[in-house]
Structure formats: structure tokens, C-alpha cells
């Protein structure tokens, strides 16, 4: 993919991530634990990471976080989302090379756990209450489970998009 | 590493985290003082053992609005104007339990153990 096609594809990915993010925000929490969510928009970040480049995936993620805060969040949720997203992105960038593509789920798991850790760190710093760290073990477990799910979903999506030869 | 080993390792992490979690739940500090804090600053302390009639507390800040229901021995968030409403879904916090958190509004409610007379 080159030129305008590439930019168009990035825009489509950004739009898809934003829609998934907004729809997910409307669903009531599955478990009443703060910070636990499926993180479906992460599927798109992974797809961008594998079908485009690290830099372009970063742009798609950044646009989704900014637009997501505008349409479905608040200024403070932007802060948590951005820091968690940044950590997850750093993990994906670092592991994309050494981990083979058929183990995308593993990258996704580590990125999801990193996202939850980042979010927790910002929360503790913002509310200055270390007591909320009691939720950390559950957030690690939820990161592993949701990361596995989004990772497998992203792997199938990458294969499907490759087949249609854009 | 083989896929099997990775999955075993992840399963081990899950089991350890769940064990730590249950330890937190089992050994949560028991007490009757509910502390409400907003943005890291203590807002109110309520001795739940001395509540006679249930009442509602309206908390409005620059971040948003939460309605806190105070009952004898329990405290909960009955409504909030945040998008996720996790604080409402967390239900009632009784004498021992894990903190209620409303992250978008930077509101935390937790139970503090110890001497109940000091704050009456």
C-alpha cells in the first residue's frame, strides 16, 4: 500500500477504532471493578501495527484516544486512557520484532497488562490514595484475559485483510 | 519458549493474582468509619454505626455529580452522571470491603478501621 491508499486505510482504521471505542463505552460494566474493560479498540491498534508501521499505528492510536475523549469521555478519562495507551504502544513496538506474528495474542496480552498498570499508576498519582492498589491483581488478570481475546481477534483480522489485497 | 510453556506461565500469573486478590478481600480492614475523598483530599468522614435514618449526600465537583446513599452500616453510590457508572455498579460498601472508586470524578469511598469514637 502506498500514498493516498495508505492514508485512506489509516483513516478507515481510525474511524473503526473510534466506533468500537464509543460502542464499548455504552455497554454497562460486565464486572463492577474500576478499570476492567474489553479494550476492543486495541484490535485496531494491533492491525495497524502489523499491516502498516509502528509510527502509523501510533498515529492511529493517538487519533483514537483524542477523538474518543471528545466523543465518549471526559478530560480526566483522557489522561488515564492516554497513559495506559502509551505504555501498551511501547510494549507493542518493542515486541513486534522478536515475537512472531502467529503469537500476536502474546503481544496483546502483555500490552493489555501494561495498559492496566499504566492506568493504575495514573489513578494512584491523581487521587493520591495508594489504597486503590488492592484492585491491581484483578486488573492484571483482566489484562491477560481481555488481551488474549483482542489478540486472537486481531490475528484473524490481519489475515483476512491481507487476503483481500488492498 | 513453546506455546504450552507460555500458557502455563500465564495461568500461573492468573492463579497468583487471584490468590493475592482473595487475601485482600479476606483481610480487608474492618471498621465503621467511611471516608469519602475527592481528588486526593478528604471530603467527609461518616461513622456508619451512628447513622439513624438513611440519607443521601449530593456531591458536586468540577468533575461531575455523585449521589451517595448513607445507611446504617453501609454506604453506596446511588447515582452518578459519569459515563461508565462503575461506582453505582459496585454496590454497597459495608463494614469490611474494597473501596468504591469513581475515577472520572476522582471520588473514592473506603472504610477505615480502628477507633470509632475518635471521629464522632
> Can you spell out the DSSP letters for B30-51?
B-SEEEEEETTEEEEEEEGGG-
User: Could you report how far apart the first and last alpha carbons of chain A are, in Å?
Assistant: 7
Mean predicted confidence (pLDDT) in B2-8:
91
User: What phi-psi label fits residue B73: left (phi over 0), alpha (psi between -120 and 50 degrees) or beta?
Assistant: left
- Residue A109 has a pLDDT of 96
Q: Cβ of A131 and B108 within 8 Å?
A: yes
Q: Which CATH superfamily is domain B31-119 in?
A: N-utilization substance G protein NusG, insert domain (2.60.320.10)
3-state secondary structure of B4: helix
- Residue A1 has a pLDDT of 77
CA B110 remoteness from chain centre: 5
Query: What is the 3-class SS of A29-60, one letter each residue?
Result: CCCCCCCCCCCCHHHHHHHHHHHCCHHHHHHH
pTM over cut 0.90: no
Q: B10, B33, B37, B77: best mutation site toward chain A, by most A Cβ within 10 Å?
A: B10
Q: What is the ipTM of this complex?
A: 0.81
A37-94 pLDDT, tens per residue? 888 999 999 999 999 999 999 999 999 999 988 887 767 778 888 899 999 999 999 9
The string of DSSP codes covering A100-133 is: -GGGHHHHHHHHHHHHHHHHHHHHHHHH--GGGG
The confidence band for B114, taking pLDDT boundaries of 50, 70 and 90, is low
Q: Structural domain boundaries of chain A?
A: 3-163
The mean-pLDDT minimum among A82-91, B9-18, B92-101 falls in B92-101
Q: Cβ of B103 and A144 within 8 Å?
A: no
Q: What is the CATH number of domain A3-163?
A: 1.10.1760.20
Phi, psi of B74 (to 5 degrees): -150, 150
Q: Structural domain boundaries of chain B?
A: 1-30, 31-119
> Does pLDDT of B81 surpass 70?
yes
> Does pLDDT of B120 surpass 80?
no
Q: Cβ of A137 and B14 within 8 Å?
A: no
Amino acid at each position: 500500500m502506498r500514498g493516498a491508499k495508505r492514508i485512506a486505510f489509516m483513516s478507515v482504521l481510525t474511524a473503526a477504532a473510534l466506533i468500537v471505542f464509543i460502542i464499548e463505552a455504552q455497554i454497562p460494566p460486565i464486572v463492577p471493578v474500576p478499570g476492567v474493560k474489553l479494550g476492543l479498540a486495541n484490535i485496531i491498534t494491533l492491525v495497524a501495527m502489523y499491516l502498516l508501521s509502528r509510527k502509523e499505528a501510533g498515529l492511529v492510536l493517538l487519533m483514537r484516544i483524542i477523538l474518543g475523549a471528545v466523543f465518549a469521555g471526559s478530560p480526566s478519562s483522557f489522561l488515564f486512557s492516554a497513559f495506559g495507551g502509551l505504555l501498551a504502544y511501547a510494549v507493542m513496538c518493542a515486541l513486534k520484532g522478536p515475537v512472531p506474528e502467529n503469537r500476536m495474542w502474546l503481544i496483546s496480552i502483555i500490552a493489555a497488562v501494561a495498559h492496566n498498570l499504566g492506568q493504575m499508576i495514573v489513578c494512584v498519582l491523581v487521587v493520591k490514595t495508594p489504597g486503590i492498589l488492592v484492585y491491581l491483581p484483578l486488573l492484571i488478570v483482566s489484562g491477560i484475559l481481555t488481551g488474549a481475546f483482542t489478540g486472537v481477534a486481531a490475528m484473524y483480522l490481519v489475515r483476512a485483510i491481507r487476503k483481500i489485497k488492498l | 519458549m513453546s506455546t504450552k510453556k507460555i500458557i502455563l506461565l500465564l495461568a500461573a500469573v492468573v492463579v497468583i493474582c487471584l490468590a493475592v486478590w482473595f487475601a485482600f478481600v479476606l483481610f480487608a480492614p474492618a471498621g465503621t468509619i467511611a471516608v469519602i475523598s475527592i481528588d486526593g483530599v478528604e471530603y467527609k468522614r461518616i461513622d456508619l454505626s451512628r447513622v439513624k435514618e438513611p440519607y443521601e449526600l449530593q456531591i458536586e465537583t468540577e468533575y461531575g455529580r455523585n449521589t451517595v446513599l448513607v445507611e446504617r452500616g453501609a454506604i453506596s453510590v446511588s447515582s452518578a452522571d459519569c459515563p461508565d457508572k462503575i461506582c453505582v455498579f459496585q454496590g454497597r460498601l459495608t463494614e469490611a470491603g474494597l473501596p468504591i472508586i469513581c475515577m472520572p470524578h476522582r471520588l473514592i469511598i473506603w472504610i477505615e478501621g480502628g477507633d470509632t469514637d475518635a471521629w464522632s
